[in-house]
Amino acid sequence: MRIRLNVNENTHPIPEDVATDIVRAVAEAVLTVNRYPDREFTILRESLAGYLGAGVTRENIWAANGSNEVLQQILQAFGGPGRSVLGFPPTYSMHSIIAAGTNTSWIEGERDENFEISPQTAVRWIEKAKPDLVFFCSPNNPTGTPLSLETISAAYDATDGIVVVDEAYAEFAPSGVPTALSLLEGRERLIVSRTMSKAFAFAGARLGYLAADPAVADALRLVRLPYHLSALTQAAAIAALAHSAEMLAMVDDIKAQRDRILEELPKLGFPVWPSWSNFVLFGGVADPHAVFEALLEQDIIIRDLGIANHLRVTAGTTAETTVFLDAMAGLGSVARIGA
Ligand SMILES: *Cc1c(COP(=O)(O)O)cnc(C)c1O
């Protein structure tokens, strides 16, 4: 069986008792699918607010079929022809693709050393580019780099546009470290986007969401299609959120596997970038495409992002991570720069 460590999915299946509950909820919802779903998905918004805590209520929540759709709706509402969004590559490739799809021009800022973005760098780019929106990703995909709250608030103060922080991997950050959610109070142009795809092991169900000022949700009501969230999706997500603790039980295990990759790859001669997410970007690869292909031959699939001498790998289960690390060791010195 192929070991898929390429798209940062949660490699752990959802626990069986939670699955049973989800099936029960969906079975009940299916009895009334002759009717349109609750277009305000009120119970789901309440569940998501309850999960986030941090003073967030259902009025602050908006959701769609994956955070990609949430981001698209944000650009449909606040971007579009004649408007621009500033991002900081290397970052989540969908940000520029969704910008293109909504005819929003994509402006590329530059990061500092080590893929970081200081408050000064963010402000300098905002003053230079005068974007209508700023997209951050924290921790950043594909580098794993966290972003400081100082940078986010400095960026917010430097623009009168919308600031979006994509926190798809927030649950994999060290526990107890505040996220951009803690900045929402009093910042009505700040949007924090989240997803159930990664930490919640719900990628196939398609549920992304955001927390922001209620006026942001009102703006998105203008661009969403009617009844965009199916009754079955709503039922499944509500049932899963009722088991948050159990759904997130694998997160600690995944973080442990990530830390193992961070520790082991350098011993094999591949330096790693610090990661607060469920994947690791590593360097020192002489020919990324050749290494990608060599792993694929062993039924292991990771990600070649086109970054010179780098590859990205998702933290798997203990067994999957072992297979990956053994395969990397087996490649020998030909795979390493300078060998
Ligand atoms: C995986 C990922 C998402 C998730 O997208 P969904 O549409 O919710 O599955 C969002 N943002 C980033 C940065 C990601 O890596």
Closest ligand 1 atom to 207 CA: 8
SS3 107: strand
Candidate of 141, 167, 194, 303 to mutate for ligand 1, largest count of ligand atoms within 8 Å of Cβ? 141
Q: What's this model's pTM, rounded to 2 decimal places? A: 0.96
Tell me how far the alpha carbon of residue 68 lies from the centroid of ligand 1, in angstroms: 6
- At 339 the pLDDT is 56
Rg (CA), the chain: 20
Closest ligand 1 atom to 208 CA: 8
Residue nearest to atom 14 of ligand 1 (CA): 168
Predicted confidence (pLDDT) per residue in 100-118, tens digit: 999 999 999 999 999 999 9
By the 10 Å C-beta count (0-12 exposed, 13-18 middle, 19+ buried), 309 is classed as: middle
Q: 9 near 306, Cβ under 8 Å?
A: no
- At 283 the pLDDT is 97
How far is 78 from 98, CA to CA, in rounded Å? Answer: 13
How far is it between the farthest Cα atoms of the chain? 65
240 token code pair: 């899963």
- At 333 the pLDDT is 74
- At 213 the pLDDT is 98
Tell me how far the alpha carbon of residue 35 lies from the centroid of ligand 1, in angstroms: 30
Q: Measure Cα distances from 327 to 282, 294, 322, 332 in Å.
A: 15, 9, 8, 9
How far is 318 from 234, CA to CA, in rounded Å? Answer: 32
Domains of the chain, residue spans? 3-11+245-334, 38-229
Q: 123 near 155, Cβ under 8 Å?
A: yes
Residue 31's Cβ-side half-sphere holds a number of Cα atoms within 13 Å equal to: 5
Residue 203 Cβ contacting ligand 1 at under 6 Å: yes
Q: What is the DSSP string of 219-252?
A: HHHTTSPTT-S-HHHHHHHHHHHTTHHHHTHHHH
Q: 156 near 163, Cβ under 8 Å?
A: yes
Which stretches in the chain have pLDDT values below 50?
none
- What is the separation of C-alpha 250 from the centre of its chain, rounded to a whole number of angstroms? 17
Name the architecture of domain 3-11+245-334. Answer: Alpha-Beta Complex (3.90)
Q: Where are the beta strands (DSSP E) in the chain?
A: 3-4, 61-64, 84-87, 105-108, 133-137, 162-166, 190-195, 208-211, 279-282, 300-301, 311-314
Residue 10 Cβ contacting ligand 1 at under 6 Å: no
133 token code pair: 């929106």
How far is 310 from 62, CA to CA, in rounded Å? Answer: 36
Residue 6 backbone dihedrals phi, psi, to 5 degrees: -110, -25
Candidate of 68, 137, 145 to mutate for ligand 1, largest count of ligand atoms within 8 Å of Cβ? 68
Residue 320 Cβ contacting ligand 1 at under 6 Å: no
Tell me how far the alpha carbon of residue 233 lies from the centroid of ligand 1, in angstroms: 17
Please give the DSSP secondary-structure letter assigned to residue 14: P
Residue 141 Cβ contacting ligand 1 at under 6 Å: yes
Tell me how far the alpha carbon of residue 195 lies from the centroid of ligand 1, in angstroms: 7
- At 23 the pLDDT is 98
250 token code pair: 């694998």
Residue 168 Cβ contacting ligand 1 at under 6 Å: yes
Predicted confidence (pLDDT) per residue in 215-255, tens digit: 999 999 999 999 999 999 999 999 999 999 998 888 999 99
Residue 66 Cβ contacting ligand 1 at under 6 Å: yes
What interhelical angle do 42-52 and 231-241 show, nearest 10?
Answer: 30
Residue nearest to atom 3 of ligand 1 (CA): 168
Class of domain 38-229: alpha beta
How far is 217 from 212, CA to CA, in rounded Å? Answer: 7
Please give the DSSP secondary-structure letter assigned to residue 112: -
Residue nearest to atom 2 of ligand 1 (CA): 168
Residue 166 Cβ contacting ligand 1 at under 6 Å: yes
Residue 120's Cβ-side half-sphere holds a number of Cα atoms within 13 Å equal to: 1
Is residue 142 reached through a cis peptide bond, with omega within 30 degrees of 0 on the bond before it? yes
